[in-house]
Structure 1
Amino acid sequence: MHENLPIFLESRNVKDDLVLEALYELTEKEIQFRNERAEKINIGISNFPYIRTIDDFDFSFQPTVNKTQLLELMTFKFIENKENILFVGTSGVGKTHLATAIGIEACKKRISTYFISCQALIHKLSKAAYENRLDDALRQFGRYKLLIIDEIGYLPQDKQGANLFFQLITKRYEKTSTIITTNQPFSKWGEVFGDITIANAILDRLLHHSHIIKIAGRSYRIKDKIESVNGGDNQNRVQN
């Protein structure tokens, strides 16, 4: 800031009696700059697949999503209370979008956040176990105040993967918050993890203090196609 002060004062044509006011304005700008830089850094290291916000979400396309509930969750009381969020729905309905939007807002609040797919997470834990550093990996993923685990259920897990996932969820239980996205109902998690006992133990810890958001609707990925077809049909009706 001190390097920019002479230029700033000269640009404002500041006299002695206005120096204090000018310094205050410059300090405010410096604080804003540092906050914006911190936000970008936090978002950058959190491994999000893309940048999405709650304003980008089309609630009219997915009317089963309660916007008021989402906005309440984005006050982050659920993190203070060590609660979890589970988004459940078929592919393409916006689960990852909403999980990412919450995560990005958490980063802006300087809440330590990390995003990872279930498959990538289990791969990292398996690799750590093979290299005899599983405890370090569990500590690493256990320390985030908010861990977002995406796409549970898209691929089945073997027994080792299920056990590793259970260990991580147990480590985070009632200490930190986790957001889950899944395309499978909880009744099928026994198939996902290959063991009904482990699946129930995982669900028991995730659901104990949680907010469950079920999304029933059409896929966003075909939304534009549908609108394009409907638009074409409407145009044809006008022409006919």
Structure 2
Amino acid sequence: MGIEKVYSFHMTLSYSRDPFCCFTTSQDLQTFFDCHRRAFAHFGGVPKAIVYDRTKTVVRRHVAPGEAVPLHPEAVGFAGYYDFDIDVLAAYRPTGKGRVERQVLIVRDHVLSGRAFSSIEEMDAAFTTWVPQRRAQAHRTHQQIIGERAARDHAALKPLPPTPNLVAERHLRPVGKDCLVAFGGNLYSVPARKIRPRQLVEIRATKSQVMLHSTAPDSRGETLLAMHPRAVGRGVRVVDETHWDGLPTGKSRRTTTGDVPAEARHKQPPDRQTGPLETLLSRSAVTRIEVGRRPLSVYDELTGTRPFTTHPSTRETS
């Protein structure tokens, strides 16, 4: 198989046990809810409620049994857009999703077992081909044809909204001095005239786009600063060169292409006299001051003291 690691997403209609499955190479937030959209399209509608275990893409953090479960804000927004309820299993309920867990084993044994695949698309096609065979079978629990009960299940589903809801991954990142923001191992530009260095901006990333927003709206109530296609891989710089308009270019600073000659450094203006204070403060002028040298006996004579000497004859012995 030419794929390094593959994950499967499963959704099962509770009444009929009608299955859906798709395969991905990621478990991030966008992929998780993209699989939901594919499941809704497969069933032809949206169920009234979906039961989840305590996955991090739905539950914000784990709490003690009996406490209210804090939901992920993107999961709440997605459920509100498609108008379904989120039902989170109670803690330590491993059998709460038995109908879905059983489908995982069925797909493994009847779709994947003994076969080799070279792409995700081949795996999805294999499941789609197998679904009519599964729907023609009688389920061992309700003893009815799965497809017949699935027709009643599908009729009870809510209609799909006209446009899909795109879930975005959200992060706060600081802006660098070069107006670039780091995300996912890549750099994205923002307009220099709208931000300041080290300012925090909000990144809203989908599978295909990266949108950078200010944390506070402008005078028109807008927060969008820039929108870029999402880079593939790492170490990529996605830059709109117009965003650099407003950055300092260095033309207003004094620059030189080489070292200043020594004559120019020590040369004083001909019409300016250097005073004593300026001489002390000027390092170049101090280096030209001549310092007189005299023996220490001169200072002894000026102070009226005799130099300290020690003779061997007066040295104490022990």
Q: TM-score, normalised by structure 2?
A: 0.20
Point out which structure has higher relative CO (alpha carbons under 8 A, 6+ apart): 1
Q: TM-score, normalised by structure 1?
A: 0.24
Rg bigger for which structure?
A: 2
Higher strand fraction (1 or 2)? 2
